[in-house]
Structure 1
Amino acid sequence: MAILNNLLLFTSTFQLLLLLRVSSESSQTAGDVSQFPTKFLELAKSPDVFDWMMRIRRKIHENPELGYEEFETSKLIRSELDLIGVKYRYPVAVTGVIGYIGTGEPPFVALRADMDALVMQEAVEWEHKSKVAGKMHACGHDGHVAMLLGAAKLLQQHRHVLQGTVVLIFQPAEEGLAGAKKMIEEGALKHVEAIFGIHFTNRVPLGKASSRPGSMLAGSGFFEAVITGKGGHAAIPQHTVDPVIAASSVVLSLQHLVSRETDPLDSKVVTVSKVNGGNAFNVIPDSVTIGGTLRAFTSFSQLEQRVKEVITKQATVHRCNASVNLTPNGKEPLPPTVNDVGLYKQFKNMVGDLLSEESFMEASPIMGGEDFSYFAEVIPGHFAFLGMQDETKSYASAHSSLYRVNEDALPYGAAIHASMAVQYLKDKASRGSEPPKGFHDEL
């Protein structure tokens, strides 16, 4: 009887200890999640992560690659993902890479970084200046890649607390070649329920982030038109069909699309920035080429159509012909970037927890365009700006030959990426998340 009592006592004690251990582990996991994002920021600022991100950023900066040519950049990304044990898919959209961290189960949330450079000659003299003539990272994409890799490292180290799957999207060809659109076509957003993107800005102080709900960035596009007449001697214009006069009329008429056809409370831009025609003082040319850009938060496709109509019909008034290309040099138009209101609120709260409530700044709409907009058209998306301005230094705006990245901003970007992913998955799990339709059929 004593042996039986001892056995029952042992069994009860073992079960109790097992329950306590499970309870303790659950509490620890919940505690780990609740300690984010502060923990991520501390880790991102540690030399192990910060110095690593700087090395990556500088290596990419020294070897800039244009859209769909980011082969070495992509190779570097894959090698770093291999070292930290993150699984990935490659190639996607020629050079793109998609990494996966977490359970492999829903919900799925994506973090995106662009990785292409610009056709510009770097004017900043420093140790890690671009080694490729006529190409430079003048928009911070090298830093964007480094920050997302930093976030990957943080998330991989804490993958046991992820309540779903984080998708890392390293995107090629953001600068006018619709890399995001091509990645979507090749399945980058499969099962993904929300996506977040971050971009450096010199308009916000270091250590602060900026965003807004709804329209964040304008839709943007380009146009190029060839206006053709009949050239001849400038002294006898009656024997010509002058494309210069037609082009002049077109340029003036295009300005009316904003001044007379647009609601003053709805910002739009139509700018003619290129006019080429003729090479002699006394010769009327056969044709004139004009080109420019258009921006709009609403009715973007309608504005494109009106640009085309004005050019062709004004040319006809002056007895000329006109052909209009709305995708010159393969530059596809970008839709407006619109932030999901719910994701905006989550982001704002997360920044307050990570940094402070004062570290979040409400952004004003910007007429610049971003092909993150393609992602945000398909699923809820949120795009934010990360401050890097320092009162003691001057940082040039994007697309300047004097552009520099303030590397002190890298830890903030990595921590924001990682914290937003964890917070989204946590909130999603607390509300309950149904697997995407057909998800288990594909496993």
Structure 2
Amino acid sequence: YPPSPRPSLSLLRCWRALPSLVSPSSALSPTLSTVPGVKPGLDMGFGKWVFLQVLLFHLREPIPAVSGAPSGAGFLERAKGPELFDWMVGLRRRMHENPELGFEEFETSKLIRGELDAMGIPYKHPVAVTGVVGFVGTGGPPFVALRADMDALAIQESVDWEHKSKVPGKMHACGHDGHVAMLLGAAKILQEHREHLQGTVVLVFQPAEEGGGGAKKMLEDGVVDNVKAIFGFHVDNKFPVGMVASRPGPLLAGSGFFEAIISGKGGHAAIPHHTIDPILAASNVIVSLQHLVSREADPLDSQVITIAKFQGGEAFNVIPDS
């Protein structure tokens, strides 16, 4: 990138994320917008003070230019151009019409490979069943990865529009069709300027993000063994189009699952005193589980417990055994 007379917005946001260490008299401080979830006055240790000193040093130093390399603004203008924009929108709509669940993304994988072939980008396939891993650049280190997930959800799309899901009971309700289109768009721009890359960008198209353990299988297949940094992203309807948001620390949650069987003693619903009602017991368990968040966990930590499936009984007048 060419020399920059001022720090980028992303670095300004990083600076603002260390509010207790930034002098109130700083000339830049009035221009910094608060990052959601960052508490002013947070006690920062010595390690973060060192990080701030390094950050400030880099903010004051111009970034050396790579001869012939396009500017960041040039990349942005290329991404906003009608040819690339319309191509990405078309890709997203094709995937939206044909959603596939985790480890079943065969047509999605085929579409990705077809586009990479058209760009002349080499790739590995299959990886983690349906995954695809592409490579742009020198083929050597350093390796930096960009990751997008591919799978849809088992949800019926109820909105009628031109590109509604054509598969009953399946829908790209989490935006992974958009993620794949975005990564293919990035791949196209990077491939156009591959001669300026001093290393390799690894394009990770991951299957089965929605609870299938696709990331674990990708790791087991060695996808990021030599990768020094990896960037993931997720669409978010809370922000206006064109805005990119981030913050220090964890941003999206990991998830765990459990199943439990509450056993009792069944009987007729009219004589519950002759039974041990597992429905009532399970209901109390569900309510009590919320205390793990409200009374057992640090209130400054972000945690959620959701019981999304409750199954018991087969008749309205019979208390089940479990």
User: 2:188 aligns to what SS in structure 1?
Assistant: helix
Indicate the SS of the match to 2:239.
strand
Which residue number corresponds to residue 16 of structure 2?
Answer: none
* 1:59 to 1:286, Cα distance in 2 relative to 1, 3 A: same
Identity of matched residues, %:
70
Match of 2:230 among 190, 195, 201: 195
Query: Is residue 158 of structure 2 the alignment partner of residue 118 of structure 1?
Result: no
CA-to-aligned-CA distance 1:76-129 (integer Å, 9 cap, x gap):
111111111000000001110000111111100000111111111222322222
Structure 1 range deviating more: 269-278 or 119-128: 269-278
- Superposed, 1:251-266 pairs within 5 Å as 251-266=286-301
Give matches, 1:317-396, under 5 Å: none
What does residue 348 of structure 1 align with?
A: none
Offset from partner CA, 1:299-335 (integer Å, 9 cap, x none): xxxxxxxxxxxxxxxxxxxxxxxxxxxxxxxxxxxxx
Code of the aligned partner of 1:30:
V
Offset of residue 281 of structure 1: 4.6
Using the TM superposition, give the Cα deviation of residue 234 of structure 1 relative to its aligned residue in structure 2, in angstroms.
3.5
State the Cα distance separating 1:235 from its structure 2 match. Answer: 4.2
Q: Which residue, 206, 215, 220 being the options, matches 1:185?
A: 220
Structure 1 Cα separation of the partners of residues 85 and 284 of structure 2: 56
Count the aligned residue pairs. 259
- Secondary structure in 1 aligned to 2:257? strand
Task: Give yes or no for the alignment of 1:139 onto 2:174.
Answer: yes
Amino acid at match of 1:276: Q
Secondary structure at the residue paired with 1:42?
helix
SS of the residue corresponding to residue 169 of structure 1 reads: strand
Greater CA deviation, 54-63 or 166-175?
54-63
Give the C-alpha shift of residue 251 in structure 1: 2.4
1:243-322 to 2 correspondences below 5 Å: 243-287=278-322
* Cα distance in 2 between the residues matched to 1:124 and 1:242: 40
Query: Which string of whole-angstrom CA distances, capped at 9 and with x for unpartnered residues, describes residues 365-385 of structure 1?
Result: xxxxxxxxxxxxxxxxxxxxx
Return the alpha-carbon distance in structure 2 between the equivalents of residues 270 and 47 of structure 1: 44
* SS of structure 1 residue aligned to 2:161: coil
* 1:52 alignment partner in structure 2: 87
Letter in 1 for 2:111: L
Out of 215, 220, 242, the residue aligned to residue 277 of structure 2 is 242
Equivalent position amino acid for 1:224 in 2? E
Measure, in 2, the Cα distance between the counterparts of 1:137 and 1:237. Answer: 45
In structure 2, the residue matched to 1:32 is 68
Q: Mean alpha-carbon deviation: is it higher for 62-71 or for 272-281? A: 272-281
Q: Which runs of 5+ in 1 are unaligned?
A: 1-28, 288-443
Q: 1:166 to 1:121 in 2, by over 3 A?
A: same
Determine if the alignment matches structure 1 residue 94 to structure 2 residue 94. no
**Deviation digits for residues 156-208 of structure 1, max 9, x if unmatched?**
11111100011000111111111111111111112111000121111111111
Measured in 1, the distance between the counterparts of 2:220 and 2:268 equals 52
User: Which residue of structure 1 lines up, in the alignment, with residue 265 of structure 2?
Assistant: 230
Query: 2:148, 2:111 → 1: CA distance?
Result: 14
Distance 1:52 1:249 in 2: 52
SS of the residue aligned with 1:32? coil
RMSD in angstroms over aligned alpha carbons? 2.0
1:43 Cα deviation (Å)? 1.4
What is the letter of the counterpart of residue 270 of structure 1? Answer: I
Equivalent-residue separation in structure 2 for 1:64 and 1:200 (angstroms): 17
Question: In structure 2, do the counterparts of structure 1 residues 123 and 282 end up closer, same or farther at CA, with 3 Å as the change threshold?
Answer: closer
| RCO comparison, higher one (Cα < 8 Å, 6+) | 1
- What amino acid maps onto 1:244 in structure 2? I
SS in 2 for 1:30: coil
Instruction: Identify the structure with the greater helix proportion.
Output: 1
Distance 1:242 1:128 in 2: 48
Structure with a larger share of its residues in strand: 1
1:233-268: CA deviation from partner (whole Å, max 9, x where unpaired):
344445433323322332232232223222333333
Distance 1:257 1:199 in 2: 28
Q: 2-side partners of 1:239 and 1:105: how far apart? A: 73
**Which amino acid counterpart does residue 158 of structure 1 have in structure 2?**
H
Equivalent in the alignment of 1:67: 102
1:269 is paired with a residue of what secondary structure?
coil
Pair member with larger Rg: 1
